Copies of this chain bind each other. A is one copy, B any other.
Amino acid sequence: MSRQKELIYNLITSTMSHPTADWVYRNARRKMPRISLGTVYRNLNTLVQEGRILAIANSRGPVRYDANITRHSHLKCIGCGLMLDVPETDIDFVPRSPKTRQFEVLEYRVEFLCLCPDCRAKNGSKKQTFQGGQNANPK
């Protein structure tokens, strides 16, 4: 594990904000000013392959990373993109379907689409498509 990789891994474990590669890059440069974006991406990919972090896709914007590799689900605000972890133990059900029995299901993840208190206050009942926002691009 190179110094760069260790720094990248530590940065991801230090936050619960599901950061982007760019966030990791910007924060890594504070401690290691000459680190390159390519190195960040390369190490993020190997960390994912090694199963040490998770990659989370969004239909809009960059991939986010998550150091929480315990089985868990996500609560996602469709207003601002805020994403919270929901531990498997906090979900009191096991989803199962006839179809899943024909396959070898390894794992399930639930995505709870919601409005966080802030967005509920701002937008009232107005439903809107997720377009990114403050928490969507952590500084």
A residues sitting closer than 8 Å to B (CB atoms) are 48-49, 55-60, 63, 73, 75, 77-78, 84, 86, 90-100, 102-117, 120, 127, 129
In the bound complex, how far is the Cα of B105 from the Cα of A117, in angstroms?
11
Contacting A108 at CB < 8 Å: which of B58, B105, B110?
B110
Contact of A129 among B49, B97, B108 (CB under 8 A): B49
A interface, by DSSP: helix, strand, loop or mixed? Answer: mixed
Q: Which residue of B lies closest to A50 (CB)?
A: B129
Report 18 cross-chain contacts, Cβ distance below 8 Å, ordered by A residue: A55-B59, A57-B58, A57-B59, A59-B63, A75-B100, A86-B97, A90-B99, A92-B95, A100-B112, A103-B115, A105-B113, A105-B114, A106-B113, A106-B115, A108-B110, A108-B112, A109-B110, A109-B111
Q: Bound complex: CA of A21 vs CA of B55, how far in Å?
A: 22
Chain B nearest CB from A73 CB (Å) reads: 7
